Amino acid sequence: MQGVERTPLAVRDAYLLEFARHSDRRGHLQELYNETRYPSGVTQHWAQVTCSTSYRNVLRGLHCSTYGKLVTCVSGSIYDVVVDLRKTSPTYLRWSAVILSDNNRRQMYIPPNCGHGFYTLGERNTVVYCQGGVYQPATERDLLWSDPFVNVYWPLETSQPPVLSDKDRSAPCLDENEVQVNPLRERYLIIGASGQVGGALMEALLRHRSKEIVAIGTCNSHPREGMIPFSLEEAGRSEDACRDLLTMVRPSVVFICAAFTWTDGCEREPEKAQLVNCTAVVNLAQCAKAINSKVVFYSTDYVFPGSNGDDTPVGGYSESSPCRPLQTYGETKYRAEQKLLTVHPQSLILRTSTVFGPEEQGKNFVYQLVSNVTSGKDMTLTNVKCTPTYNRDLAAMTLKLIENGCSGIYHVIGDEAMTKMEFATRVARCLGMDTSKLRVTSDNDGGSRCKRPKDAILSSEKRKKELPNFTCKNVEEAIADWLEHIAGKPLMA
């Protein structure tokens, strides 16, 4: 039999596990636990095994033990919830949920000192707990299932209240003076939170809105503690992957920041570009609409041809200007825009351009510039015009547009238009770097086979009317803010 797959949840040290099952004409065989097959973090000594059976519309919890639990639904189906009640944990007061059933071969691992509860979805539901300790009432802690400070979503039947034990019905709530958060906090899901746009959003939410909003991020190729692994490529292949993620988080807003942005790569792998940049977006939108979640999707100026295809409109392309992408990347983004507004009309689509700023991966244009100049390499740049957009400004404008209840398409860019050469020169001067290695080329596509739009300047008048008091930082102000953000550390990739 194969080993057990482990997926981190939105609560630190909590995992969704998927075990193997051997089936034949007689039925099936499965191991509910095997210390040689289960991954680290779950393998431990189990001191007690408990089995409970519950009928439809029963809610058990929230119960907190000093030991870990491995929960399996061997008959029926349950909505299983874990709540982080550890004050020193980075995911304190965050909850996550999964569907466990006798068909989906899934288990949830509940870390010690975390709350656990479930709501039954089938007519008769049997749950097995492997417990890392023996049940002792004196060491157990109960929390009301509907505590407003935790604000767990439960998929209750609307016709009647859940069936509760007397103990669960009278369980206490958290002390508001102890937790210091606002009740009924909203949950925002940032897909691609390890990238430059998603990272800036996470920072803005965690810094300024931690009492009002729970920010939960996903990552893919760059794992981060506290983030949920999630692949847009897989989401493009399976709507179930999207549904599972939204069940785990139950967000009020879904920000789709991740994308396949490598333009040459999109030309080489058009199927992947379609899966990641379009199909996954549509699948997420369909699942989000089903639970009344708003979608925010980041698009690009590459949906326009620029002066390569026609004369750029005076004042730049507006949101209503005809789109005519020149390459696969822009085409897949444009298709996603069109389908998104059909599937989920209240979505917010934000076209942006030349994003730069602090990011963990260190991949954007400014990092490349610093790397080249400090190593003494020539850097070839075009005189194509762009509108540099500071990622922290982009995040701030996004959140303000959400607050204002905006939907539809907005161009969210910096306030200055300049050539790539001018942008590089201004950044280098801000950093006190030698500009003699910066070279100008007449090749708009930079030696690439992928056609790029020339001077595809976006008009941001619509955004300015919506946010009249917001002014984007110019290049010099953005670099100064960036350096303050990294507190004297070298700005290197």
User: Mind telling me the catalytic residues?
Assistant: 63, 129
Q: Which residue has the tokens 């990622």?
A: 391
DSSP, residue by residue, 49-95: EEEEEEETTBEEEEEE-SS-EEEEEEESEEEEEEEE--TTSTTTT-E
Q: CA-CA distance, 110 to 4, in Å (whole number)?
A: 16
Contact 21, 28 (CB under 8 A): yes
Order of strands, sheet of 213-219, starting from the edge strand that comes earlier in the sequence: 228-229, 213-219, 186-191, 253-256, 294-300, 348-352, 408-411
What's 26's DSSP letter? T
* Cis geometry, peptide bond prior to residue 62 (ω within 30 degrees of 0): yes
Q: CA-CA distance, 17 to 106, in Å (whole number)?
A: 5
Q: How far is CA 310 from the centre of its chain?
A: 37
Count the neighbouring beta carbons within 10 Å of the beta carbon of residue 322: 10
Q: CA-CA distance, 194 to 157, in Å (whole number)?
A: 37
